[in-house]
Amino acid sequence: MRIIFLGTSAGRPTKARNVTSVALLLDKRNRFWLFDAGEGTQHRLLGSKLKLNKLDRIFITHLHGDHLYGLPGLLASRSYFEGAGPLKLYGPPGIREYVESAFRLSEAHLDYELETIEAEPGMLIEDDQYTVEVRELEHRIRCFGYRVTERPSPGRLDLAALERLGVPFGPLLGKLKRGEDVLLDNGMLVRSSDVTGAPIKGRAVAFLGDTTPCDDAVVLGKEADLLVHEATFAPGMEEKALAYGHSTFRQAAEIAAQAGAKRLVVTHFSSRFDDEEVERMVDGAKIIFPNIEAAREYAEIEVAKPK
């Protein structure tokens, strides 16, 4: 599991930063999900190793332009990629009207199936690999945060126990690892629980849209392996942050600390701050949450499996 930042600017792009978009890579085949698609996101994808035919889900946090103006063009361009299968688009109420209006007025046609789901707070996705929970944040318009949680992995096989019980190498090992009990040729029943360790906890990554500090931001980030949180304003600008529905670097660190997150990456920086100023504010927030870092354009961050 790995994330790539395709845009880290707030409100409008700058020469150094594009507006918001983050990719979540799920496996070695570079299958990925996209969180927000500000203007120019498909151009940023061209500068990465990611291909639109490997994209199968998009999650929009809210309907402000710096988070979705790049969506219609990206969806239209995906038709030109061979092997682009069905795509699911999630977002707040209004996302369907936005996309359908853009396609109707521009007479665009997609060569793949697009399913648009208007989300509400709660469990959004539950499949055999991941769950995705959505909660509502506090911004000027309805805005969501998403928490992606990987299902637990089977525990390690106890090789010494398998040898002692006479379990042969082959398909039976796979069944035991999947939690299935097996019957040996000699009639002995081998229980999976007797030859496997405890399940390995899955990883959790939380992607928050624009928000002032709120309880649901803490819930989404609870013990997350990685929390991606906006940091639009500098410490000391809390009143302005509140007025515009945003957070400061210090407030983002406080949310991560309250949530017990393992790692915090801040993004969505005001264009008034250059990289040096961003790093200075990150350093200042380490007194609250030491494991904080600033997102960078095209930065790749690995989310390691728990040991």
* E-strand stretches of 137-197: 144-150, 182-183, 189-190
Is 62 annotated to bind ligand? yes
The type of residue at 287 is I
Measured distance CA(281)–CA(248) in Å, rounded: 9
Q: What is the DSSP letter of 94?
A: T
Is 229 annotated to bind ligand? no
Q: Could you give the dihedral angle defined by the CA atoms of residues 220, 224, 229 and 234, in that order, rounded to the nearest 10 degrees?
A: 120
Q: Which positions are catalytic?
A: 66
Is 268 annotated to bind ligand? yes
Token pair, residue 162, equals 């398998």
Beta bridge partners of 126: 131
Provide CB contacts within 8 A for 71, sequence distance 6+.
37, 41, 58, 60, 89, 98, 99
Measured distance CA(119)–CA(47) in Å, rounded: 31
Provide CB contacts within 8 A for 48, sequence distance 6+.
4, 6, 23, 298
Is 274 annotated to bind ligand? no
With beta carbons less than 8 A apart as the criterion, state whether 82 and 111 touch: no
CB 211: neighbour CB atoms within 10 A? 29
Q: List residues forming the annotated binding site for Zn(2+).
A: 62, 64, 66-67, 139, 210, 268
Residues tagged in the binding site annotation: 62, 64, 66-67, 139, 210, 268
